Amino acid sequence: MKNRTLLVIIGLVLLLAGPAACNYNGFVNKDEEVKKAWSFVQSAYQRRSDLIPNLVNTVKGAANFEQETLTKLVEARAKATQVKFEADQLNEENIQKFQEAQAQISSGIGRLLAVVENYPTLTATKGFQDLQVQLEETENRIKAERDKFNEAVKQYNVAVRRFPGNIFAGIFGFGQKPAFQAEAGSDKAPEVQF
């Protein structure tokens, strides 16, 4: 009788240990995918940040260019490069701070490109045209990497919420992760005037 009870207990432990190990390893894999995707997001934003000094220096060459626009863009870049955190610090507050800092850069670039339109000789230079193309490509990379990050977060969050994985996720300390959200007002189309 004692041996039978011991066998039943060992059987139950083995029955639970297999799924627990599989779920734990699955959570670790998905967590690493989120971290990898986050590193690609940071890399894409860093590329944009690295392009800004080249853009500013190219534009500075234009006579009578509005210095205030350049200064604001440089300041936005400086602030944005200070907002950094590791993938294991992903939470809604940190992502919001990151998005706000990057939105200031986007706004600065937008203002700069709008003002540059008043300088036809600048927009005609090959160096400036090349930088515009690189910025556009970089913005496309940022969007693609954010999409990949959100997909990795979705897969991770589904795994930690789905039964019976949610039980093991709670036991092992795996919680949901935040994704990028659309910026406020991005649901409205921008007004273009000529």
Q: What is the pLDDT of residue 153?
A: 96
Q: Which residues contact 141 (CB under 8 A, 6 or more apart)?
A: 44, 47
Residue 62: closest CA among 106, 123, 113, 109: 123
Report the alpha-carbon distance of residue 111 to residue 91 in Å, rounded. Answer: 30
Angle between helices 92-116 and 126-161 (to 10 degrees): 160
**Mean per-residue pLDDT, 43-66:** 80
The answer to the question of residue 115 being in a domain is yes
**What's 114's domain CATH number?**
1.20.120
Contact 97, 79 (CB under 8 A): no
The answer to the question of residue 166 being in a domain is yes
Residue identified by tokens 């991770």 is 156
The answer to the question of residue 193 being in a domain is no
The answer to the question of residue 179 being in a domain is no
**% pLDDT > 90, the chain:** 34
**Mean per-residue pLDDT, 73-94:** 88
Report the alpha-carbon distance of residue 47 to residue 83 in Å, rounded. Answer: 15
The answer to the question of residue 88 being in a domain is yes
Q: Where are the beta strands (DSSP E) in the chain?
A: none
Residue identified by tokens 């701070």 is 97
Report the alpha-carbon distance of residue 144 to residue 186 in Å, rounded. Answer: 17
Residue 105: closest CA among 160, 45, 166, 163: 45
Domain count, the chain: 1
Domain range for 84: 31-172
The answer to the question of residue 12 being in a domain is no
pLDDT in tens, 128-154: 888 888 889 999 999 999 999 999 999
The answer to the question of residue 1 being in a domain is no
